[in-house]
Structure 1
Amino acid sequence: MKIMLVDDETLVLNQIRRMLSGYPGISVVGSFGNAREAIRQMPDLQPDVVFFDIHLPELSGIQAVELAQEACPGTDIVFVTAYSEYAVQAFELNAVDYLLKPLHQARLDQTIKRLMQKRMHKHEDMHSTAPSRILCFRSLRLQSSGRSPEIPKWRTAKTQALFAYLLHQRGKIVFKETLLELLWPELNVKQAANQLYTSIYHIRQCLKQMGIDAPIQNMTIQEGYILDTSRIRIDVDEWENGLRQLSGVNLTDSHSELRRLLSLYEGDYLQEIGYGWVEDERERLRKLWYLNARSLARFYEKAMMQEEALAMYERIQDVDPYNEEDGLALMKLYTASGRHKEAEKHYHKLDHLFSNELRIGLTDKLVDWFEHARKKLPPLAQ
């Protein structure tokens, strides 16, 4: 395990180097009193761990860590500080550990043990062949190494929103100025920038811990970030590509696959994200699902596949309950299959919805059909 030391106190650097010399399999690849110089050397030295003094001149610990993660992605961080109040901040930044000055060998033992355990888990994850995925329908979840999808433990709601925005703009440069205005408009530039650096660091650590190979690249010249998703799978992209491949294929041959794809739409795109920037894409994907679902429902209806048609129209009405034409199609299918009570129940549900929420009545076409059906089929009214 290669370790880099960054502290502006020479005595502390010498002490840590001496203490680390007693551990087998550990080498100190560099000692620096200046954070910027250390960060410049990181791509060449490729440290596994950096021991950072959190209170450095020129750069704050937050900024130094953010730049270090860009210079050498995947590097673990251990904070060294003389102030106990920084311990909480260290864990907020997802550092592996923190050490208080003056250093003690017993406490360093705990840190080394923690680092070794983390490296062992990382090694196990690297041997898994299952691709990582990001799931965007309904809740935002991450799935790695063949495990079940998990909702990440984001530090704050805005950290989640930041990741979601970078994901939404994947492959494109997102300017820092845009992110500051979008997520922290109430703060001054310096405060907002600190929040941004902290959140970026937290996201990187979260992705690394969950085995998601989607690095956030810091575009220094353009002052922005790019989320690289080229090595992972994203459910929204897979879903839309699947629909695209079925385009133009006769439903007689493809209805089973189309039904499978439509079932993958578990909920709206980034459903829990309340920011306005997500609405256009959310509505586009919702319409895409609806158009394909309606096409499939009508195919089942014409093919006299009543149960399949009923299931599709029920799902369509769940997604878009305000469409009277689909509601009428569903009620006709209910009556055709002898389920008159369900037809009446759905009619009253639509009547309540339109009268109480939209403040308008049902169309004459739907009302006339229902009255005719009640007269023609007495069980409907019982």
Structure 2
Amino acid sequence: MRIIPMLYRISFLIYLMLATTSCSATQELNLQSQKQTEHSKKLLSIFDKTWLRAKEKLAVKSSDEVFSQKNYQHLKSKVDTLENLEELKSLINAFLGSLNVSHTQFITTEDQDYYFFQSLFKANEVSNPKHYHIGLQYQKSLEGYRIRSVLDSYPAELAGLKKGDLIIKNNNEVFSPMSFKSTKPHTLFVKRGQDNFSVNVSPVFENIHYSMLNASKASKKIIKQNGHRIGYFHLWSGTNALFEKELKQSMLEDFKDCDSIILDIRDGYGGAWYSYLDPFYKDRESFYAFTIVQKNGDRSTNTAPQQTNHNYTNKPLVLITNSGSRSGKEAIAYQLKKDKRAVIVGEPTGGYFTIGEINFLEETDFLLYLGIAHLELDGKRIENKGVLPDVYVDYSTAPYPKRDPQLLKALEIAEKIAQ
């Protein structure tokens, strides 16, 4: 009889197949578990590095209390549940944001700021590293990404996108600022007030730092209004000598035949300092003194190196500010207001007035920006306060008007004070 041995062999083969399948499944689960463990360890390692560096350097009162073991364990327990770096970023920034120290943020490659800071602190040139974008700054909310500012002559402006627009999707996928992967046309689905519409945009491949320089150049114009010539220039950043060069070229050459000037310092980045004021003064005698207040309370006060400016403009000046006017740009607003050298129009500046330091430039997927010391101007605190405008004009809440109300008011004043 061969039936029993045959059945035995078949049963044995089935057993081997099941055992092999079970073994493979177990190995796969073990591999997944190992990968998950390694990933969790990496996130925890990044969190620990961030925690220790922030505890060491962040200019916050009661540092030991803020960075206590209790707070550490509380956040660490949440890190153990996270799946990716973006979730870790949200956790870290929620904690850092609660401390109210400006220039303090955990930044990843999914943020435009990552490429800006790489350009500013590592590449030391405005053009690198490159990334895809359409010339916007954003404000993230629960609804998605709302447009905070639109760069002059970039794809977003050319497509008709405006401040306050909410971008919902990019090519039928959830939108994020870094969701552009080529210069080919992308279809954006946008909400403006109660209206929904779509636009086609073709991204550029360049660093946002370089784009802001180009936008500053493109913003330059002479507006003719009721017989007056009004020069307009938007200084998008003061973080490279090339921006200062464009500012001086505009004020001292391009607008030399104008009756008045509008300088727009809304949004963009900060960085501007004493030399950005030189086009408006014959010397630096009245310039502010700035005091550095270290984390331990030590103070040191510095004044502007004195010089005489043989080439400067005394034309009537209007300055436009908003909450996106931050850091060194706030020093510009402070000085021009202090001397009544300009009429300031718009909203209070942002009150982002600490010395910021970039950490972990050697990493490839994240940076840590920390406010390591406070700054005062003439003994006055700007941090979390800002500089108030002479003429307040709101442009920060919905529904957003079709035309820029701050620019319209600036033009009205520039016409009144024109020479």
TM range (shorter): under 0.3
TM-score of the aligned structures, taking structure 1 as reference length: 0.25
Structure showing greater radius of gyration is: 1
Higher helix content, 1 or 2:
1
Higher strand content, 1 or 2:
2
